[in-house]
Structure 1
Amino acid sequence: MGRKIEAYLDCVSPYSYFAFLHLQRHEEVLRSHNVEIEYIPVFLGGINVGSGNKPPWTLPAKGKYSSYDTARAKKYFGVPNLRTPSFFPILSLLPQRCMTHVKHAFPQIYASSFGSLWAAMWEEGLDISKPELMAQTLRRHFSPIQVEQVMEAAGSKEVKDELLATTRRCVEEGAFGCPWFMVTNGEGKREPFFGSDRWVFMWEFLGLEWKDVEICPGTELKSKI
């Protein structure tokens, strides 16, 4: 039975960006283990409301800690230019609806175009909740006619309903934030994982061969070896 990682992500979440980058970098080796990755757009605002969770910046203690945690994550995941934009947080419905359509209509460039949303917002400071800036970001991957198609589809009832249904399903499965993962192992067992730092647990659940983090010997120990 095939293994699968369903990654529920929202461009408003920098930790979703970290998770996306990590999975992209390990995509080839995961494929060699017969692990499929599916990136699924959800609306984080809806998950927070549905689960009763609150964004970190609304709680002083979490907000204070986030400044340290984000700086560490930027270094680890290799995105030194990531900055919290002045317009943060945004209502991410438009970009997430766009990706909901792109996922079906343009599967070949879906992952790369999804990744561009985080780069545009978190590294370039573009407010992609604004239609003109969302369209500008899409033009990096799509022709002008295709951009019009994606933007039009994002306003359709079909796409709106799909994003709403996906978000509700995510909450029903226990989600309280992003990134959220539902992972299926080789035995067909399915379990949830949360956050961009649970990879070891995920690899273990999937039954993959992996190496743990090791501390290199210090100078004093090296001299004794």
Structure 2
Amino acid sequence: MSKTVEFILDLAAPNGYLAWYPLKDIVARTGAELLVTPVFLGGMHKLTGNAPPMMRDANVKGKVPYAALEFQRFLDRHAMTKFRMHPALPFNSILLQRVLVAAKDQQEMQALVDAFQPAVWEQNIDCSDVEAVGGVLAESGFDAQRLLGATQDAEVKQRLVDNTSQAVERGAFGIPTFFVGSEMWFGKERLGQLEEYLTGGKP
């Protein structure tokens, strides 16, 4: 029986972009099932007391430059040549995350992630602009009117809140976080450990 990898994701996290593509390769290699759970990173930070690394570590000598070096190494290793750091980071992702929640099923949700990742982290769209987000949806063949309209539904709003609080209750504090059952991994650097676990190795 194949295992299910749950990806706790907010599209506002650059490390979520970096993890997305290698994670899909891991899932394909191991025969695992991928499940995306959209959360709101701003809410997660508020609940946990966490903060974006560039803000949290700003006063730690050497740490932010080293994190940038590790980040670039990951980009180079995976040939992610189209990535561009978003000039508005940290930005509000509530609209994007509600669109993900409004997806009719996991297949549509993951297709939405595939559409939004390059729009956010290669084209650097304004993620709070309804027209810009709608344009991405329409160009990718989605029903933009349905999905954007659903972002104002009370049920969709509450589901995002619940996803976020439940992820925190399970131990999540940032993006990217991965769960296989009750086992949790945090960070793109743990993808190798995740694959080992899926293939029978120790976590």
TM-score (norm 2): 0.89
Whichever residue aligns with residue 197 of structure 2, its letter is F
Task: State the SS of the aligned residue for 1:12.
Answer: coil
CA displacement, residues 102-160 of structure 1 (integer Å, 9 cap, x when unaligned): 1xx154343132122121111112112211111111113235xx210100001111000
Structure 1 equivalent of residue 163 of structure 2: 166
Alignment of 1:1-225 (within 5 A): 1-31=1-31, 35-58=32-55, 59-60=57-58, 61=60, 62-102=63-103, 105-143=104-142, 146-184=143-181, 190-208=182-200
Inter-CA distance 141–53: structure 2 relative to 1 (3 Å threshold): same
Amino acid at match of 2:18: F
TM-score, length of structure 1 as denominator length: 0.81
- Write the distance in 2 (CA, Å) between the matches of 1:91 and 1:76: 29
Deviation at 1:98, TM superposition (A): 0.2
Q: Which runs of 4+ in 1 moved over 6 A?
A: none
Moved more, 88-97 or 75-84: 75-84
AA at the equivalent of 1:70: F
Q: Following the alignment from structure 1 to structure 2, what is the Cα–Cα distance between the partners of residues 147 and 29?
A: 33
Give the AA of the match of 2:133: M
User: C-alpha root-mean-square deviation of aligned residues, in Å?
Assistant: 1.9
Q: Pick the structure with greater CA Rg.
A: 1
Distance 1:87 1:202 in 2: 31
Tell me, which stretches of 5 or more residues in structure 2 are unaligned?
none
C-alpha distance in 2 between matches for 1:205 and 1:192: 11
Is residue 14–residue 118 contact of structure 1 (8 Å, CA) maintained in 2? no
Please give the alpha-carbon distance, in whole angstroms, between the structure 2 residues aligned to 1:72 and 1:132: 34
* Map of 1:187 onto structure 2: none
Asked if the contact 1:43–1:163 (Cα under 8 Å) also holds between the matched residues in 2, the reply is yes
Report % sequence identity: 29
User: Do the aligned residues in 1 keep the contact of 2:48 with 2:173 (CA within 8 Å)?
Assistant: yes
- Once the two structures are TM-superposed, the CA of residue 11 in structure 1 deviates from its matched residue by 0.7
